Amino acid sequence: MGKLDGRVVVITGAARGQGEQEARLFAAEGARVLLGDVLDEQGEKVAKELGPDRARYVHLDVSREEDWTAAVAAAKDAFGGRIDGLVNNAGILRFNELTATPLEEFQQLIQVNQVGAFLGIKHVAPEIAAAGGGTIVNTSSYTGLTGMAYVGSYAATKAAIVGLTRVAALELAAKGIRVNAMCPGAVDTPMANPALLDPDGPSEEATAAMAELYKRVVPLGRAGLPAEVARLALFLSSEDSSYITGQPFVIDGGWMAGVSVL
């Protein structure tokens, strides 16, 4: 028995990184998964590996409302007319001092990270309600709960996700939908470690520099793995978390627990 047997789950940003691992784990736990992303070739590849009975890919730019309408229709069409869960995972990060941040950049992050999650809830929650209830997992960040210099536009959107999560949980509880948020620290994906995108893989120097950084600042001594975040998403999407809603969950190797480097 899988923890998600019979459930249909939409996962955004599922072509790589955490979203890909969530899609793979959810499928292994019995779910049928609609993967959405803007990286079509990679997303198609992941869905193909999982097989058509388990997974389908659609082009879903989370900031475009018409893409959400099409994605909901595609999920229902592919998997028996129902949707039971959503993981709002898609996101982008930019580094900049606040006073040097172009307005367009600030607005772009709001569009993808914040509006994207809002549109997901708006379009998928009614389907989950119609299926008798289910779960929504939003992806915030530890920067949604505490400060981090040079990621002002990103942190603002991730704090917004926590607020959105709480309100959605309150409004959707009566419809049998639980809504929670994950707040990862540093996770070893292309977002936190762009060297992973090098065609030959990250250089030894890049890998050593990242390892040294996290050894110093993260109490558990390393960055998290996308598969570890996927296990939290699974917990929050399964009956294991049946009495939990409206909460942000930190998964950060202890980074936010307090000062560990003097």
Give the residue, chosen from 37, 153, 232, 234, that forms a contact with ligand NAD under the rule CB under 6 A. Answer: 37
The interface region with ligand NAD, picked from 23-31, 120-128, 189-197, 209-217 by CB under 6 A, is: 189-197
Closest contact distance (angstroms) between CB of 130 and ligand NAD is: 24
Chain residues 91-150 in contact with ligand NAD, contact rule CB under 6 A:
91-93, 112, 139, 141
Q: Which is nearer to ligand NAD, 133 or 202 (CB)?
A: 202
Query: Does residue 17 bind ligand NAD (CB under 6 A)?
Result: yes
Contact status, residue 176 vs residue 183, Cβ threshold 8 Å: no
Q: What is the dihedral of CA 213, 12, 158, 216, to 10 degrees?
A: -10
The interface region with ligand NAD, picked from 9-17, 75-83, 162-170, 207-215 by CB under 6 A, is: 9-17
Q: Which is nearer to ligand NAD, 31 or 62 (CB)?
A: 62
Query: Does residue 248 bind ligand NAD (CB under 6 A)?
Result: no
Residue with tokens 């948020």: 181
Annotated catalytic residue 214: no
Contact status, residue 113 vs residue 91, Cβ threshold 8 Å: yes
Give the residue, chosen from 2, 28, 29, 39, that forms a contact with ligand NAD under the rule CB under 6 A. Answer: 39
Q: Of 57, 142, 150, 154, which one is the catalytic site residue? A: 154
Rounded-to-integer distance, Cα 96 and Cα 90, Å: 20
For residue 180, count other CB atoms closer than 10 A to its CB.
25
Residues assigned a catalytic role? 154
Q: Name the residues that contact ligand NAD, by CB under 6 A.
A: 12-13, 15-19, 37-39, 60-63, 89-93, 112, 139, 141, 184, 186-187, 189-192, 226
